[in-house]
Amino acid sequence: MPEQKPVQRRTNTTLNAYSGTFGRTEVLHLLRRTLFGFDFAQIKDFEKLSLEQAVDTLLTAPSSAPTPPLNNYSLRTPDPNVKFGETWIDAPWDANFENQRKFSLKAWLFQQAAKKSHSLHEKMALFWHHHFATETLVVNLAVNSYSHHTLLRTHAFGNFKSFVRAITIDSAMLDYLNGRLNTKKAPDENYARELQELFTLGKGSDSQYTEDDVKAMARVLTGWTVNFLNKPYPSAFVSQNHDSNDKLFSTFYGQNILKGRTGATAGDLELNDLMDMLFSKDTVIAKHICRKLYRMFVYYDISADEETTIIEPLAQYFIDQKWEIKPVLKKLFMSEHFFDTLNQSCIIKDPISHLAGFLRQMQMEYPNNDVDTEYSIYQLGRYYGELLQLDLGDPPNVSGWSAYYQAPLYHRTWINADTFPKRNQFCDFLLYVGYVKNGYKFAVDPMSVMAQTSNPVNPDDLIADLCTWLLAMPLTSTKKAELKAILLPGGIPDYNWSDAWYAANDPQNADHAAQKAAVLSKSQALLKAITNLAEYQLS
């Protein structure tokens, strides 16, 4: 178990099913934690559902895979193997275009996060991207990184044991952690170490594998490599490079001996034996994964009490469900502990939740049939993610992003004197200037955003709705008065805003143009003020 500081009991809630009201407050909390962002229409959609229906909706993966990444890079220097606007995932390797394809993939990753969705699927893809971390710019082939992220999506809600097996012989992972170089003559321990330390058992005191276990596990995995000669460059097993001797493990694994195998099936057979032995440490693995899910979706710090009342029973449930991920998520999201008020409004949004969430909230429109412009928008989001310390496709190392695991700062790592102004800069830029490419202006339509609210003509109702929707915690009456003064400076009567709103939305009104400009300016200023608040950074 990870080292834990002695603390007083933080909450009294458990994994028992939540039995309270499932109203707007609870809907908003659920959506803030499970989606990158949402608009008012989605709030209304989920308010029509029971808690179980809402959670089942969130745990439903998209019915079809997204369009794969496209060639957005060869307007100036055509890729001889891929036409502009078509996908490159089936194209042969070309050193001249490999980096461009990798950045196309990174833009594509941001596209998936930014698209409107009712599913947790994309947020789980980010969770697994952090957990099974690889770096796109380190993996040799862009197509293998694409296949890796497809694998993350395929298994996002599936069976964890099957997931680990698939990751172990995933081409990108074999490349990234040197598995492809692991042979009986030169065993490479890199993946065997991370498989235990990061991907399954964790680093806690109940994870007592030894250096000899790392060496033995590396020997089990000898012979696996990447076939760089044939598309789509799959993993392959070369029996001549496999150590066919028996492998002895420590008392931690019950002094288990994995029988050495020979022939073309040796790799698969020993891998199956390895998975069975590894997952015999079921409690250690289940608690490690449940702690990571808890930090992602509930609260960043796990006290000794939460270890006992939440993590341990959730881990046992994971085991009882035979490593199926979806039931564990459902149990967590339907628990009284998840909806505990002390677990609300207490996590700083990661950069992608901030950036993609803003685009989803503002209902941003993307150009149709213009790959160059559309992908440049996704690159803008990806670039800001890099500035904010979450570079999609390229975590800093195999451990992923430190904000998800590094005590004592955890999520506070996302915010500092450099990143907080840049968060505001992104929102302000799209509110006031917009991104212009090929004559297309990608910018927030503030009045359209206001029109989502229940009663935009009333300044108090408008501000209340915006704050409830965009902010994870309530504002003081003083702060709300400051926001209202943006719409009605000098304390002028409320009807001034109502009259201006009606005129701004009525082209037949004699004062339409002037009032539209005034309402637009005030709407921009109001949204800027809200999205620049510290409260906007929370979920």
In the chain, where are the structural domains located?
159-280, 448-537
Burial of 263 from C-beta contacts in 10 A (0-12 / 13-18 / 19+): exposed
Q: Where are the beta strands (DSSP E) in 191-340?
A: 224-226, 235-237, 247-248, 257-258
* pLDDT < 50 stretches in the chain: 1-2, 6-7
Q: What is the pLDDT of residue 232?
A: 87
Q: What is the pLDDT of residue 76?
A: 87
Residue 409: strand, helix, or coil: coil
Burial of 517 from C-beta contacts in 10 A (0-12 / 13-18 / 19+): exposed
How does strand 435-437 pair with strand 257-258? unpaired
Bridge partners of 273, per DSSP, are: none
Q: What is the pLDDT of residue 7?
A: 46
State how far the alpha carbon of 296 is from the alpha carbons of 32, 151, 287, 472, in Å: 12, 20, 14, 16
DSSP assignments along 487-536, one per residue? HSGGG--HHHHHHHHHHHT-TTSTTHHHHHHHHHHHHHHHHHHHHTSGGG
Q: What is the pLDDT of residue 9?
A: 58
Q: Judge whether 51 and 29 are in contact, CB under 8 Å.
A: no
Q: What is the pLDDT of residue 1?
A: 45
Q: What is the pLDDT of residue 8?
A: 52
User: Among 147, 209, 203, 211, which residue's Cα sits nearest to residue 173?
Assistant: 147
pTM of the model: 0.96
**CA dihedral for 294, 295, 301, 302, sign (positive or negative):** positive
The helix/strand count (H/E) of the chain reads as: 23, 6
Q: Which two tokens stand for residue 257?
A: 């001996």
Residue 454: strand, helix, or coil: coil
Q: What is the pLDDT of residue 159?
A: 98
